[in-house]
Structure 1
Amino acid sequence: MSLQADDKSPDAPVAAPRGWLRAAIVAVLAIAFVGSAIGFVGFLSQLRGAEMKPAGKADGIVVLTGGSSRVSDAMELLAAGYGKRLLISGVHPTNAASDISRSLSDNQSLLNCCVDLDRSAVNTRSNAAGTRRWVHERGFKSLIVVTSNYHMPRAIVELSHAMPKIELIPFAVVGDKWRDEPWWTSGATLRLLLSEYAKYVAAEVRVRLANVGLDLAPDLADQPTGSLLSHRPATAQAN
């Protein structure tokens, strides 16, 4: 009897820690899932379902290219006097200057006088770097930001980090598909939102760490001023 008890006794202390470890892993995963779900709901609450004109005018307007009708909406704001100049950020280097001129022929005079292009931006963070340079060169203090509604939260995070002293006024562009059907009924839209939410969280984490001195990815260096082209309209890269 005593020999059998001795054989079993070493297993008892090992089983308990393994059980606690499994329970701890499950608990952490559950907390992470719930936290992510709550964060996603909070992210969705920031997205506007309808376009609303800016609350006021600003010194300049920047449109972050990549979504349908962003540039045309930004041109309408410029034509209505909401800003003095427009920066189109993220213009693809291979696009011809005539492309956007053809699509916005009604605003040809504005394209020739009051529009600048940034061909250096390849993502939202470099959009912010190029916009910061443009704002400083022009001496602007306020800016209307034009981009798609799902992209706006991340754009504001990046732009406010790059230009903390500049007033940012969002103008969220709402696509036809967003208005025509609920996002949860479209697998493509849901995937887009989940992807954008992950990028938004990553940007928030990086910016918050940078604000407390833990800059794991230093800001992009400003590009030479030659990367900003005046009066040279062209189409854009995706964001």
Structure 2
Amino acid sequence: MIRRSIAFVLLVWMLGFAWFALLLPQPAAITPTDAVVVLTGGPNRIDRGLEILASGQSRKMLISGVDRDVKPRELAAQYPGSSKYFKCCIDLGFQSVDTRSNALETAAWAKRNKVTSLRLITHDWHMRRARFELDRELSANVAVTNDAVSTHPSLGALFKEYNKYWLRAVASLLGM
């Protein structure tokens, strides 16, 4: 009985990993939302957020998880043609240090800015956990569009992220 239970749990875990690794979230079509939230931590995320602002389909953007030493002017200099957006439309979030605190920072920012729809931008392998955390913190009346930046993650990176995702889900069930 114990062996069968362990085998069943292992089978469910392996099938879940196959789902997680093979069906990564995809980029979303550019459609209107009140705001864009970009989680720092990898290439092309901010570029995608700037693309959405430039399209005119969102009015504001939060870059969550920015290092405290970064200045808006310095960040804008890394993205040619973006300085006008940094002056009017982009807020830098310096409070978060991980995915869970990204969600807290985003929820507070969305409430302050009366956001009713937002586009979440992060890497494809990170989207599920980021969205899980955001859904726990965000008001239920805010519609969220997942907009994953496509990557080519290693099997090791997927394995690590999959386990983080399920550990957070279990911790959540336990009230942590």
TM-score normalised to structure 2 length: 0.91
Show the counterpart of 2:51: 76
What is the rounded CA distance, in whole Å, between the counterparts of 1:63 and 1:97 in structure 2? 15
Show the counterpart of 1:20: none
What is the rounded CA distance, in whole Å, between the counterparts of 1:195 and 1:82 in structure 2? 34
What is the rounded CA distance, in whole Å, between the counterparts of 1:45 and 1:162 in structure 2? 28
Q: Which runs of 5+ in 2 are unaligned?
A: none
Q: Which runs of 5+ in 1 are unaligned?
A: 1-23, 184-188, 218-239
Task: For 1:1-239, list aligned pairs within 5 A.
Answer: 24-48=1-25, 51-54=27-30, 56-163=31-138, 164-175=140-151, 178=152, 189-207=154-172, 209=173, 214-215=174-175, 217=176
Deviations 1:52-78 (A, max 9, x none): 424x21111100110111011111111
Q: Percent identity?
A: 31
Show the counterpart of 1:235: none
- Aligned pair count reads 175
Task: Please tell me the residue identity of whatever aligns with 2:7.
Answer: A
Q: Which has the higher contact order (CA 8 A, sep 6+)?
A: 1
Q: Any conservation in 2 of the 1:61–1:74 contact (CA below 8 Å)? A: yes
Task: Please tell me the residue identity of whatever aligns with 2:130.
Answer: A
Shift of residue 25 of structure 1?
A: 4.0
TM-score normalised to structure 1 length: 0.68
Structure with higher helix content:
1
Task: Please tell me the residue identity of whatever aligns with 1:137.
Answer: R
Report the aligned-residue RMSD.
Answer: 1.7
What is the rounded CA distance, in whole Å, between the counterparts of 1:53 and 1:103 in structure 2? 25
